[in-house]
Amino acid sequence: MSDATQKKIFTSTDKPSAMILRVLDHPNFVIWCFGLFILLRALILLIPLEMVSDADWYFSRAIGIAAGEGYSEGGHPTAYWPVGYPGFLSVLFGLFGSSQLVGAFANFICAAASFFLVLALTRHFFQSNRAAHLAVALLAIYPNNIAYIPLLLTETYFTFLMLLGIYLVVVRRTLLYLLLAGIVFGLLVLTKPQAVFVPAFLALLWLFTPDGWQHRWGVAARICIIYAMMASVLVPWAIRNTTVLGALVLVSTNGGANLLSGNNPSADGSFTADSPLFRQHNFSIEGQVGADKRARQLAMDWIKSNPKKFLSLIPLKIFHGWAPDGEGEWAYQAGFKNYDKFLSLFRSVRILNQAYYVLLIIGFVIAIIPLWRHRHKTAWPLPLFGYLFCSYLTVIAIVFFGHSRFHFPAMPWVIMTVAWAAVHLCEKRAAKTIPAQSK
């Protein structure tokens, strides 16, 4: 039965599920959600924050690039962390001035754009306006997503780029948009190198569409175009790294340190840098290429010598990667001078966020059952992208280490899937009232 027919049939005596559907069908529902989305994120910008840790590093590097110093630290060229995010900030700093507010406002814009990308992708992947409406509502009130807006960290920007690239590839699909998507994905990899496989995941799903294998050469052509455009973004940076660092470095030089931090005698599943073994890689800015190689070799040697310990760390890495949420609070604890004054408020929001997150994850896991049973109602198998991406993040955590920040870009996909499952359940329950009311 169509949405329009259901809207005519449902009355004030319907079940609560039908009332929910009526709210989702309201012509102004998306406007209300966007207003709430903007309001909550504008309010969080009013909190004065000092950038600390990773955010301070990105901020400082962006200022240096904007000032013409290049991507450097202490006067030495660097590629220790991927250049994508500080490079993005440096362009904005060059145009509008080197200010934390400029970076925070950029996050605000990226988040606002992500709102509409989630709306469009949910409609396309799950073939449901109601699911799309619920998805943006769930995203609007997600506390940890809100908390990241003032933080000069990669998460908000990276999530926007990933959603945009997939939108251009899957929804738009023309050659021009494929070329643009390749550039976007190139910027995505410059921000987090592990994103290099995202287009390949899409190609894999395309092959399993009803006529995907018949069009396998078309799929191959599309993926080749995307990766060729990605190379046009990545190769110049690799050439720069090779020139200034004296060795082939495709994106960054922190891969070895990340591997060693999760695989050493003191490892507990999260980032561990206080191990004597970790310190043996002797990191220095000027010697970062050699340190990266040493760290990788130390980690591999330890894994080979301690296979049981490596295996025992896997559950802990998965736990640290997926169990906690709300880590955005840490930045406020370290960078907001009045944090202690509002401690009870911050902790209350953190607890509410954790409960909200757990419900989303449980819903995401359960949703695979109705999604499989009713896959014909969706753009199957595209809705599996969320599960594929989450599985990929889990594999990365198993190899390296787990951290709740890492699942941030997966949450829009979790929310899309949960929104579809919730709407499907509401429609199923509400439909039971239709025969009696339609006589």
pLDDT in tens, 125-170: 999 999 999 999 999 999 999 999 999 999 999 999 999 999 999 9
**In this structure, are residues 346 and 339 in contact, taking their beta carbons and an 8 Å threshold?**
yes
Question: What burial letters (b/e) apply to 157-186, b meaning 16+ CB within 10 Å?
Answer: bbbbbbbbbbbbbbeeeeeebbbbbbbbbb
Q: Closest by alpha carbon to 51, among 103, 9, 16, 14?
A: 103
Residue 52's domain spans which residues?
A: 3-437
Residue located via tokens 């990929």: 392
Count of H-run helices and E-run strands, the chain: 21, 2
State the DSSP string of 299-344: HHHHHHH-HHHHHHHHHHHHHHHHS---THHHHHHHH-TTTGGGHH
**C-alpha dist (Å) from residue 126 to 22, 115, 255, 420:** 19, 16, 36, 7
Q: Is the pLDDT of residue 436 over 50?
A: no
Model pLDDT, residue 275? 86
In tens, the pLDDT along 18-40 reads 899 999 999 999 999 999 999 99
Tokens of 12: 């004030």
**In this structure, are residues 91 and 100 in contact, taking their beta carbons and an 8 Å threshold?**
no
In tens, the pLDDT along 224-282 reads 999 999 999 999 999 999 999 999 999 999 999 999 999 999 999 999 888 899 888 88
Phi and psi based region of residue 68 (left: phi greater than 0; alpha: psi -120 to 50; beta: remaining): left
In tens, the pLDDT along 179-191 reads 999 999 999 999 9
Model pLDDT, residue 14? 58
Q: Is the pLDDT of residue 434 over 60?
A: no
**Residue 76 backbone phi and psi in degrees, to 5:** -110, 135
User: Coil, helix or strand for 153?
Assistant: coil
**C-alpha dist (Å) from residue 247 to 79, 254, 257, 288:** 11, 14, 17, 11
Task: Let me know the angle formed at the C-alpha of 154 by 151 and 159, rounded to the nearest 5 degrees.
Answer: 110
Q: How many domains are there within the chain?
A: 1
Mean pLDDT of all residues belonging to the chain: 93
**In this structure, are residues 434 and 1 in contact, taking their beta carbons and an 8 Å threshold?**
yes
Residue located via tokens 């370290």: 334
Q: Is the pLDDT of residue 63 over 80?
A: yes
Model pLDDT, residue 9? 45
Model pLDDT, residue 211? 77
